[in-house]
Every structure is written in structure tokens, then in C-alpha cells.
């Protein structure tokens, strides 16, 4: 029996849908299945004919960077009726399709679930009507479905994030950054409305990432009936303390505690009346759905697409329809209908004003972010409590600059000040500590830092030695420092570890020591992700997208070298995000045999019409087979078939404004640092401290966790400056599978297929 899989996108489009389609199609072809694209969503299924047609490896080439969906999407009223679904079943069976990957929102996934439930009875009706051969009905007696959530709103239960939400957040943050600068120039107030009927994710995270002054989300309307007064008083106080811009970010589904809708026009009217200011409204609208998908969305959609094809091809008749999502950084399969029903329950909670329950459904990360936002957007901090000890916390950045360092400092400073503590900014990391370059920071001294790249405090790779340790200890004593927060990369971690090791000689180091991971390389212990890596990945991806366009015109192969030192995270992830056919990692090594194999594949590809070659090489992949060496070798071997160019991306990877993902990560880690410092200080007061008051914080399985500092040497390959365990290494098979058709593909194409992928 032929195994045929159909794939469709439905409902509102979302960036990243194409990456999911590409990956599901290629994964299915790789397993030897035949794949049909169902164009225009469920409407295409109902109409059939040329709207259901075969896809091959190259039909989904070159689509990774495209927004929207190459399959088209539609809202189909006809599919809501049984007659419409009956026509759909007939058209699917005409092509012998009984396995579906459906990419859409909760409506589309509900439709898919209903289709599966009715499959047998609709087939019986078709047989009775004489429109279906009984033998076909017997052979294809079940429908297997895997659903992926493509929706910018991030409003679906069963997955921590939906395909498209991160890209929409990129659009929102870019817009908010731009509006902030014009608002500040004119001292204007802006009301910015973002998408989200029942879900405040985009408004909340957009406000957190951009440093807005007030936010309105459906899940948690302002407490008071007189919220208008409260909003105006926050904005007025903000002006009084020197804020030049006033930005209110609101979800389109914002409402008050009684369920009455709050419109952006109403917020404008209130602000104009009470603030007596020039107030402008910007409704971001469909801009949020548009544009090229972010790196995160491309990688997420790629992994989910491959998992969906796998699930649907291995499904048995009795298996339920599944939703494939991501939870705690792991791909998960869940009963589709349960996720849909839970999503509807949240929407009901919001409609019925049960906000506590709605927030509970949204999960811990959402609730934590909301709590953090409520502090960060205050015009003024809470005054210190007289009975509470005010801790003096030194904050510094160390190692190479990583985008998001400033956002972390800003969040840490504000959260400390709001809790009554005194943040001390140390200039240029350990160098500033040794030179006594330390200054008190306050609420407003970090105003506007969230969107900026680099490090305002300045950074260094200083590793304290000999008498410098004594000097550093004296400076800490002089400033009566109670705790140190190091926001940095490996050099910063090493410096703090050195202080930790010297605790027995210098009591001044015997204070809480916290490291927050900030490095584009993502090579730090105790964290799956470090601040700055997402920004660097997006910077690489944007450049490579342009390089790919230029390469096509000349039949070129590009060797692109990316940073990471001995850690291949940026290389592998950028290869997945850009569709590179080969990635060279230090972790895997590079041999002459590999290079010969790659030359062979390139030659075959270009002979068969390929126009572009893309290889990504980690900067330290191999000290002999350097980027210039590989480029020269390939160029020589390519002869007249193709040209080779190298591109060493360099420091552009360390620069740029942080992405929303990095800014949000910065806020979450800073919040946990402040919480822990308070906890450690209390424990010290009770004289029950232990070595756990020296820790590195990080994201592990979706949550913020702490790893004792003494474990660093055990967790790290110190010589190669990377952790022994790197979770992302598991993603290599997907990257490899998507780059080139495997034996499964050749088996199912009679002639052996095109032989080599012609497009990325």
C-alpha cells in the first residue's frame, strides 16, 4: 500500500509555517512516503483537483526565509458542514491520502479532529453513494493526524510557544523601539495595540522587551475600577522623574475586571483628558504577521515539522490525533483534542472574568514575566522598608560583550532598588573592581537600557592574579559589598570562580556570588541558553539570507564562518535556520574524507542544475582545514561548474540590539538573581549558609535553575571552553536529514530522484 501524506496550512498565516512545511515534506520523503500539498487549507481539500498535488524535495527548496505560507491558507465555511467534509474525504481518497499534517490555530485543529472522528462514517456514506470503491474504504480505514500550532498569538495550550509568536514579537519590538525614540523626542504618549484576542502574550512580552510604561492584557486587567486614574498617575510620575516617552502597550482583546472591552481609542481619550498631552495611537495590525521568520521560529518549525511527519507516518489505526509542541525545550506529543479543549477553557475563563484561573492556565513563565513587568514599569520604586537590611550588590559584566547585557543590568538594578537594596555598578568587570571604579546606580540611571546592545558598564576579560586579589578584596570591603552579580561569558565566570576559590584567604569574597550567562557562544555551564545567543543567531541568519540571494546569480558555493570558539551552537543552529547543506563543527571534527565527500555532492548538484551551495563552518572546527583552505579546495575542484566564496562574519555577531527573546531571558534571570540574593542574605543572617551561595543561574528545561559554582570545572571542558553535555547536539540528525535526500527518498523515486538537492 502506498503511504501518502497530505500537508496543509489553515487559518491565519504565521511566519515559520513554510519552515514547518519544508521540514515535514522532506522528513516524510526521507522515510520513503509520498507527499501531497493541499493548497488553500480545508477549502483546497473540499475542491480537490489541482489544489491537491504532489510535492518533491525541491518543491520546498528556498522557502525557509519566506513569511506567509507557500501552500496558501483560507478560512473555509464549507468545511464547517458535514457535506463539505464528505467532499474533502473523497478528494483525499482519490489521491490515497490518509495521513495528514495540519498547521494552523485552534479552529483548524478542531476541524482536523472532527474530520478524523467522522472519517469512517463519511467513507461509508461515500461507498453507499457509489462515490468510493469499497476496497479503498477498507484499505484506508483510518485517518492519522498530527497538528502543529501556527499562530502568532501564542494562545494554544499544549505548547509553550506557537510557530510565529517569536517573529511577531520581533515585529512588535522593532516597532516599539522605533516609537519610543520618536515619542521621547516629542515627549509624546503612545498607545500601541498589538494582536491577541484572548491572549496577552504579545502585549506582555512586547512591553517587557521594550521597557513600556503600562500594559493591558485580557488575562489580568488592572485591579481597580479606577484603573484609568492609576494608569495616568504612573505616566505622570514617570514624566516627573524624567521619562521623556510614555508608552502603553495593549492587547486587542484588553478588557476591564467586569469584562468590558477596553479599546485603544478609549485609552487615548483618557490619556488626552488627564495628561493633557499629545497622544497617538498605533495599531500594529498585520505587520505582526508579516516578514521573514525569526531564527527561533525557523528552528522550532523545522523540528516540529520533522516530528509531525514522523508521528503521522508511524501512527497506527487506534492512535489518537496528536498535537506536536514544545514544552521545557523538549518536543512533546499530546492528544490534540485535549489541547484544543483546554485552550477553549482558558478563553471561557477570560470571558467569564475568572482571571486567576486564566493566568494559571498560561503557565509559570507567563506569570513570572507579568510579575517582573509590573515592577520594571513602575515610575518610581517602592520606598525601602526601614526594618529591612539594605544589601549592597555589585553588578558587573565580563567577557566579550553580548547583546542583552544592558537589559540584564537594567532589570537587576530596578528589581534590587524596588526591594530596598543598593546596586553598585562596577565598570569594566574585574578590572573596575581592582581599580575601585564602582558607582551607585539608581532607578533612572538604567532608563532606556533594555533595547541597547553592547555593555554600558563596560566589560573585560580580566582574570585576577596575585596581589590583584588582595586589592579586589579591599575594594569590596571598602564599599561594604554584600553580593556580586556577574553577567558574562566564560571569562567572567572564570574570574568569579577565582574569587570563590580564594574565599579561605580573603573573607571579603565570602559573600553570595552569582553568575548570569551572557555570551553569544552559548557555551556556559548550567544553562541551555545564554543571553545574546539568540541575537547573534538572528544576525548570522539575516546575513546568510542575503548571501544566499547573491550566490544564486552566479552558481556559487559559500563557506560562511561563524563565531563560537570551540562550541558549535551558533554554527549548527544557523545551519538549520538557513538551510545550509553542511555544517563543520569542532565537536565532530573535519576530515579530508568529509571534504572529498562534500566536493562530490556539490559537483553532482551543480551538474544537475543546483544554483547555490551553502556550508557553515564554526571558526575553530579544525585548525588545518580553515575557511580559506576549504574555499580554495572547493574552488579548485569545482572547476567551471561553480565558484566558491568565503565569508567570515566576524564581530557583527557580537553587536546589534538584543532580540526580544534575549531581553526577556535577561529579565527572567535578573529576577531570579535578586530573589536568590535576598534568600542567601537571610540564610547568612541565620548563619546557615553553605557553598550554595555561589551559583551560576541558567535556563534548564524551560525554568530558571541554579548550579553551584564549585561544579563548574566538572561540567566544563575547560580547555575547549564548552560544557561536556550540549543538548543541541541531538539536533544534528535533523539538520543532516534536511540538507540532502537520503536513501528513503531514492527508494521511492524510480530513477533514484534528482540525486542531490538542488535548493536549500
**Residues annotated as part of the active site:** 153
Out of 105, 489, 512, 658, which residue is the one contacting ligand ATP (CB under 6 A)? Answer: 105
Nearer to ligand ATP, 52 or 481 (CB): 52
Reduced to 3 states (helix: H, G, I; strand: E, B; else coil), residue 588 is coil
As measured in angstroms, the least distance from the Cβ of 20 to ligand ATP is 14
Nearer to ligand ATP, 120 or 641 (CB): 120
As measured in angstroms, the least distance from the Cβ of 11 to ligand ATP is 2
Nearer to ligand ATP, 87 or 547 (CB): 87
CA-closest candidate to residue 351, choices 159, 194, 156, 199:
199
**DSSP assignment, residue 652?**
G
Residue 21 neighbours by CB under 8 Å, 6+ apart: 7, 9, 37, 60, 63, 69, 70, 71, 103, 305
Residue reference for cell 563548574:
712
Number of CB atoms found within 10 A of residue 592's CB:
10
Nearer to ligand ATP, 106 or 561 (CB): 106
**Contact region for ligand ATP (CB under 6 A) — 102-110, 638-646, 684-692, 733-741?**
102-110
Nearer to ligand ATP, 10 or 375 (CB): 10
Half-sphere exposure of 695 (CA within 13 A, CB side): 21
The strand order across the sheet containing 4-9 reads 52-55, 34-38, 4-9, 99-104, 144-149, 322-327, 330-335
Out of 68, 72, 111, 526, which residue is the one contacting ligand ATP (CB under 6 A)? Answer: 111
582: cell is 553542511
Gap between the Cα atoms of 78 and 83, Å rounded: 8
Per DSSP, helices labelled H in 279-335 are 295-313
Contact 552, 558 (CB under 8 A): no
Out of 23, 76, 459, 622, which residue is the one contacting ligand ATP (CB under 6 A)? Answer: 76
Nearest residue relative to ligand ATP (C-beta): 107
Out of 30, 47, 106, 310, which residue is the one contacting ligand ATP (CB under 6 A)? Answer: 106
As measured in angstroms, the least distance from the Cβ of 104 to ligand ATP is 4
As measured in angstroms, the least distance from the Cβ of 250 to ligand ATP is 19
Out of 36, 39, 57, 79, which residue is the one contacting ligand ATP (CB under 6 A)? Answer: 79
CA-closest candidate to residue 172, choices 660, 658, 534:
660
As measured in angstroms, the least distance from the Cβ of 201 to ligand ATP is 13
Supply the DSSP string of 121-150, one letter for each residue: HHHHHHHHTTSS-HHHHHHT---EEEEEEB
Contact 630, 559 (CB under 8 A): yes
| 432 lies in the site for ligand ATP, by CB under 6 A | no
According to DSSP, the β-strands at 279-283 and 189-194 are: parallel
As measured in angstroms, the least distance from the Cβ of 547 to ligand ATP is 33
| 661 lies in the site for ligand ATP, by CB under 6 A | no
Taking CA atoms, 560 is separated from 3, 44, 91, 544, 578, in Å, by: 38, 40, 45, 8, 11
Gap between the Cα atoms of 405 and 453, Å rounded: 7
Which region holds residue 687: left if phi is over 0, alpha if psi is between -120 and 50, else beta?
left
Out of 4, 8, 9, 12, which residue is the one contacting ligand ATP (CB under 6 A)? Answer: 12
As measured in angstroms, the least distance from the Cβ of 323 to ligand ATP is 13
As measured in angstroms, the least distance from the Cβ of 339 to ligand ATP is 13
**Contact region for ligand ATP (CB under 6 A) — 103-111, 385-393, 429-437, 537-545?**
103-111
CA-closest candidate to residue 408, choices 491, 530, 511:
530
CA-closest candidate to residue 274, choices 245, 231, 216, 243:
231
As measured in angstroms, the least distance from the Cβ of 107 to ligand ATP is 2
Half-sphere exposure of 546 (CA within 13 A, CB side): 7
Nearer to ligand ATP, 48 or 702 (CB): 48
As measured in angstroms, the least distance from the Cβ of 12 to ligand ATP is 3
**Contact region for ligand ATP (CB under 6 A) — 107-115, 221-229, 551-559, 692-700?**
107-115
* CB crowding 715-751: b at 16 or more within 10 Å, else e: bbeeeebbbeebebeebbebbebbbbbeeebbebbee
List the interface residues with ligand ATP, window 139-168 (CB under 6 A).
151
| 108 lies in the site for ligand ATP, by CB under 6 A | yes
**Contact region for ligand ATP (CB under 6 A) — 9-17, 120-128, 321-329, 697-705?**
9-17
| 114 lies in the site for ligand ATP, by CB under 6 A | yes
| 80 lies in the site for ligand ATP, by CB under 6 A | yes
**Contact region for ligand ATP (CB under 6 A) — 99-107, 136-144, 397-405, 557-565?**
99-107
**Contact region for ligand ATP (CB under 6 A) — 104-112, 350-358, 425-433, 579-587?**
104-112
Contact 745, 594 (CB under 8 A): no
* CB crowding 454-485: b at 16 or more within 10 Å, else e: bbbbbbbbbebeeebbeebbebbeebebbbbb
Residue 569 neighbours by CB under 8 Å, 6+ apart: 521, 522, 523, 533, 726, 728
Binding track, positions 26-65, relative to ligand ATP; x by CB under 6 A: ----------------x-----------------------
Gap between the Cα atoms of 238 and 212, Å rounded: 11
Nearer to ligand ATP, 65 or 347 (CB): 347
List the interface residues with ligand ATP, window 192-251 (CB under 6 A).
none
As measured in angstroms, the least distance from the Cβ of 78 to ligand ATP is 7
Number of CB atoms found within 10 A of residue 421's CB:
23
As measured in angstroms, the least distance from the Cβ of 79 to ligand ATP is 3
Nearer to ligand ATP, 73 or 406 (CB): 73
| 110 lies in the site for ligand ATP, by CB under 6 A | yes
Per DSSP, helices labelled H in 134-222 are 134-139, 165-186, 201-210
Taking CA atoms, 718 is separated from 51, 172, 484, 490, 723, in Å, by: 56, 40, 23, 9, 8
As measured in angstroms, the least distance from the Cβ of 712 to ligand ATP is 44
Nearer to ligand ATP, 151 or 459 (CB): 151
List the interface residues with ligand ATP, window 308-327 (CB under 6 A).
none
The count of residues interacting with ligand ATP (CB under 6 A) is 17
Beta bridge partners of 698: 705
| 75 lies in the site for ligand ATP, by CB under 6 A | yes
Nearer to ligand ATP, 79 or 558 (CB): 79
Nearer to ligand ATP, 151 or 167 (CB): 151
Out of 5, 6, 9, 10, which residue is the one contacting ligand ATP (CB under 6 A)? Answer: 10
| 344 lies in the site for ligand ATP, by CB under 6 A | no
Binding track, positions 434-463, relative to ligand ATP; x by CB under 6 A: ------------------------------
Nearer to ligand ATP, 80 or 281 (CB): 80
Out of 6, 11, 67, 605, which residue is the one contacting ligand ATP (CB under 6 A)? Answer: 11
Nearer to ligand ATP, 42 or 214 (CB): 42
**Contact region for ligand ATP (CB under 6 A) — 22-30, 71-79, 343-351, 703-711?**
71-79
Residue reference for cell 561569558:
489
| 693 lies in the site for ligand ATP, by CB under 6 A | no
93: cell is 481518497
Beta bridge partners of 35: 5, 55
Gap between the Cα atoms of 145 and 322, Å rounded: 6
Q: Summarize as ranges the residues that interact with ligand ATP (CB under 6 A).
A: 10-12, 42, 75-76, 79-80, 104-108, 110-111, 114, 151
Amino acid at each position: 500500500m502506498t503511504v501518502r501524506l497530505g500537508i496543509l496550512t489553515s487559518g491565519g498565516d504565521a511566519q515559520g509555517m513554510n519552515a514547518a512545511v519544508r521540514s515535514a515534506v522532506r522528513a516524510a520523503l526521507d522515510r520513503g512516503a509520498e507527499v501531497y500539498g493541499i493548497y488553500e487549507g480545508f477549502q483546497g481539500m473540499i475542491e480537490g483537483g489541482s489544489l491537491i498535488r504532489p510535492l518533491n524535495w525541491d518543491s520546498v527548496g528556498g522557502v525557509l526565509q519566506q513569511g506567509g505560507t507557500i501552500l496558501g491558507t483560507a478560512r473555509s465555511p464549507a468545511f464547517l458542514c458535514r457535506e463539505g467534509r464528505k467532499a474533502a474525504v473523497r478528494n483525499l481518497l482519490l489521491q490515497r491520502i490518509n495521513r495528514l499534517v495540519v498547521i494552523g490555530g485552534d479552529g483548524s485543529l478542531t476541524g482536523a479532529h472532527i474530520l478524523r472522528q467522522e472519517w469512517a462514517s463519511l467513507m461509508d456514506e461515500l461507498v453507499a453513494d457509489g462515490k468510493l470503491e469499497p476496497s479503498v474504504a477498507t484499505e484506508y480505514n483510518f485517518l492519522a493526524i498530527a497538528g502543529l500550532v501556527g499562530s502568532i498569538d501564542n494562545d494554544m495550550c499544549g505548547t509553550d510557544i506557537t510557530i510565529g509568536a517569536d517573529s511577531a514579537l520581533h515585529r512588535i519590538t522593532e516597532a516599539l523601539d522605533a516609537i519610543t525614540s520618536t515619542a521621547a523626542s516629542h515627549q509624546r504618549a503612545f498607545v500601541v495595540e498589538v494582536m491577541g484576542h484572548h491572549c496577552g502574550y504579545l502585549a506582555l512580552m512586547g512591553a517587557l522587551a521594550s521597557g513600556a510604561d503600562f500594559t493591558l492584557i485580557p488575562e489580568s486587567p488592572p485591579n481597580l475600577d479606577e484603573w484609568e486614574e492609576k494608569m495616568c498617575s504612573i505616566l505622570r510620575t514617570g514624566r516627573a522623574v524624567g521619562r521623556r516617552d510614555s508608552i502603553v502597550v495593549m492587547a486587542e482583546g484588553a478588557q476591564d475586571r467586569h469584562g468590558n472591552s477596553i479599546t485603544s481609542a478609549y485609552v487615548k481619550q483618557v490619556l488626552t483628558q488627564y495628561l493633557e498631552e499629545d497622544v497617538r495611537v498605533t495599531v500594529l495590525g498585520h505587520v505582526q504577521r508579516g516578514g521573514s521568520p525569526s531564527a527561533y521560529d525557523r528552528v522550532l518549525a523545522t523540528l516540529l515539522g520533522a516530528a509531525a511527519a514522523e508521528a503521522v507516518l508511524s501512527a497506527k489505526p487506534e492512535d489518537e490525533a496528536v498535537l506536536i509542541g514544545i514544552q521545557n525545550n523538549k518536543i512533546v506529543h499530546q492528544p490534540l483534542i485535549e489541547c484544543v479543549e483546554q485552550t477553549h477553557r482558558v478563553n471561557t475563563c477570560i470571558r467569564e472574568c475568572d482571571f486567576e484561573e486564566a493566568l494559571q492556565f498560561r503557565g509559570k513563565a507567563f506569570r513570572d514575566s507579568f510579575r517582573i513587568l509590573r515592577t520594571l514599569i513602575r515610575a518610581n520604586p517602592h520606598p525601602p522598608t526601614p526594618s529591612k537590611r539594605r544589601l549592597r550588590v555589585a553588578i558587573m559584566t565580563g567577557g566579550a560583550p553580548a547583546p542583552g547585557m544592558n537589559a540584564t543590568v537594567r532589570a537587576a538594578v530596578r528589581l534590587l532598588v524596588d526591594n530596598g537594596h543598593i546596586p553598585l555598578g562596577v565598570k569594566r568587570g574585574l578590572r573596575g573592581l581592582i581599580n575601585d571604579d564602582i558607582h551607585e546606580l539608581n532607578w533612572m540611571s538604567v532608563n532606556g537600557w533594555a533595547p541597547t546592545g553592547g555593555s554600558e558598564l563596560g566589560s573585560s576579560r580580566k582574570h585576577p592574579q596575585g596581589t590583584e586579589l588582595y586589592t579586589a578584596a579591599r575594594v569590596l570591603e571598602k564599599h561594604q559589598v554584600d553580593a556580586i552579580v556577574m553577567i558574562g561569558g566564560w571569562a567572567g565566570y572564570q574570574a568569579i570562580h577565582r574569587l570563590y576559590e580564594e574565599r579561605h584567604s580573603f573573607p571579603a569574597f565570602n559573600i553570595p556570588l552569582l553568575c548570569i550567562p551572557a555570551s553569544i557562544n552559548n557555551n556556559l555551564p548550567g544553562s541551555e541558553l545564554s543571553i545574546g545567543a539568540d541575537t547573534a543567531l538572528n544576525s548570522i541568519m539575516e546575513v546568510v539570507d542575503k548571501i544566499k540571494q547573491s550566490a544564486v546569480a552566479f552558481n556559487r558555493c559559500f563557506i560562511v564562518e561563524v563565531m563560537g570558539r570551540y562550541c558549535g551552537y551558533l554554527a549548527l543552529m544557523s545551519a538549520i535556520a538557513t538551510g545550509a547543506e553542511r555544517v563543520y563543527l569542532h565537536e565532530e571534527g573535519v576530515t579530508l574524507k568529509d571534504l572529498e565527500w562534500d566536493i562530490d555532492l556539490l559537483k553532482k548538484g551543480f551538474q544537475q542544475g543546483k544554483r547555490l551551495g551553502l556550508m557553515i563552518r564554526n571558526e575553530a572546527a579544525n585548525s588545518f582545514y580553515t575557511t580559506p583552505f576549504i574555499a580554495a579546495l572547493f574552488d579548485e575542484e569545482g572547476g567551471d561548474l561553480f565558484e566558491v566564496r568565503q565569508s567570515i562574519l566576524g564581530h557583527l555577531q557580537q553587536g546589534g540590539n538584543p532580540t526580544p527573546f534575549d531581553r526577556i531571558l535577561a529579565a527572567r534571570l535578573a529576577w531570579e538573581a535578586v530573589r536568590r540574593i535576598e534568600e542567601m542574605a537571610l540564610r547568612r543572617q541565620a548563619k546557615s549558609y553553605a557553598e550554595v551561595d555561589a551559583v551560576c543561574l541558567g535556563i534548564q528545561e524551560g525554568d530558571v535553575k541554579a548550579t553551584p559554582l564549585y561544579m563548574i570545572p566538572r561540567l566544563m571542558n575547560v580547555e575547549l571552553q564548552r560544557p561536556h553535555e550540549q543538548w543541541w547536539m541531538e539536533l544534528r540528525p535533523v539538520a543532516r536529514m534536511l540538507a540532502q535526500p537520503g536513501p528513503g527518498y531514492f527508494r521511492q523515486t524510480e530513477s533514484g530522484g534528482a540525486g542531490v538537492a538542488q535548493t536549500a
